[in-house]
Amino acid sequence: MMNVAVREGKLNIPMNVTTSFCTVTWSVIPTSDELGPYLITNADCTVAPSLDALYYVNRSGLIIRNSTTTENGHLITTAGLYTAECAGSGNKTGAKLVVVRK
């Protein structure tokens, strides 16, 4: 994964890993709550119900629906440190999503 910088409000930002996405567990430590992490998905490819307005999973990986710097009615911001962990091997990779305000 690579670090990503986007403008606030950008839609459908992909966070990809090279392994099969269904064996990956995604989590985030958002900038709005650095005491996280928040589990986004388990290896079964389902997004946690409390975060499904912010994220979805497809064949390319985790998709961030909207880049945000404030909670704006949601549990967390989408700016933060993302971690993908392979369920079988325990290998981890991470990337930071930086969101620049308009």
Question: What are phi and psi for residue 21, nearest 5 degrees?
Answer: -65, -25
Q: Which two tokens stand for residue 35?
A: 């005491």
pLDDT band at residue 70 under the 50/70/90 scheme = confident
Q: What is the mean pLDDT of residues 80-97?
A: 88
CA atoms within 13 A on the CB side of 56: 7
Angle (nearest 5°) at CA 55 between 14 and 99: 60
Q: What is the mean pLDDT of the chain?
A: 88
* Contacting residues for 52 by C-beta, under 8 A, at least 6 apart: none
Q: What is the mean pLDDT of residues 58-87?
A: 89
pLDDT band at residue 60 under the 50/70/90 scheme = confident
Domains of the chain: 4-100 (2.60.40.10)
**Which stretch of 13-27, 31-45, 53-67 has the lowest confidence by average pLDDT?**
13-27
